Chain A
């Protein structure tokens, strides 16, 4: 596996903050972040809409393996140097259903949570990301799997 593409929601403040945190972590497998709303996501992954990327976090390997929700989070943690052990623990059959429930709850309420947690801040991280990348213009030069 050369890299993992993480399809996040660029309109959701919480998701963008998670992405920013993930980006800063040292990784065994590089994580490439692509907003699921972008043209780049459509172009790169044919038939991506069938997987409902707006519903839960999606992680796709460079070989095309798809992970959703809690599984996607496990894969993100697995990719990170400092969290691989936690990923192994979380993937245990006892913990995984619990993680799935938590991830579903978080995903469903992500806009509510973003609003409740980060409302006060005038320049939200989500707006910044949207401005930086020009989401629907597909200027995703940096989103390449380089390894």
Chain B
């Protein structure tokens, strides 16, 4: 096998498990956060959690597949390692960006849910009697 094929194999073997690990972490630890965001609606939170993870897999594995091709073929082991390292580095940065974007979306939803329960910020200045119909 040529060095470029080794590069591809190492790249795939590292980036796919990495994606799975990040997705699992998000799925496991995001659940509590989501349940809070949906004000205790566990079913909805689980559903959204699952959908988010599916989207996460699609985008990341899609990116890994797209970024596989390497124009300049590495000649020796040193170049193989360098190429793999660069490619994995980019994948990790993409995963990190996706991860923070997900957290941002979660926290925005959570803040909105919490906002709904906020009491009036100021006390009333007077009282009148209100006639209801």
Contacts and interface: CB of A to CB of B under 8 A. Distances in A.
Interface of A: 1, 5, 28, 43-48, 51, 60-68, 71, 74-75, 78, 81, 84-85, 87-88, 90-91, 96, 144-145
Given A84-B115, A85-B115, A144-B133, A74 B121 contact: yes
Interface in B104-128: 112, 115-116, 118, 120-122, 124-128
Contacts, number: 64
Nearest to A90: B121
Contacts of A64: 127-130
Contacts of A90: 121
B125 A75 contact: no
Contacts of B2: none
A96 to B, nearest CB: 8
B131 interface: yes
A43 B121 contact: no
Interface of B: 112, 115-116, 118, 120-122, 124-133
Given A60-B130, A64-B130, A144-B133, A71 B116 contact: no
Nearest to A61: B124
A145 B126 CA distance: 20
Contacts of A71: 122, 125
Contacts of B116: 28
Nearest to A141: B133
A96 B122 CA distance: 10
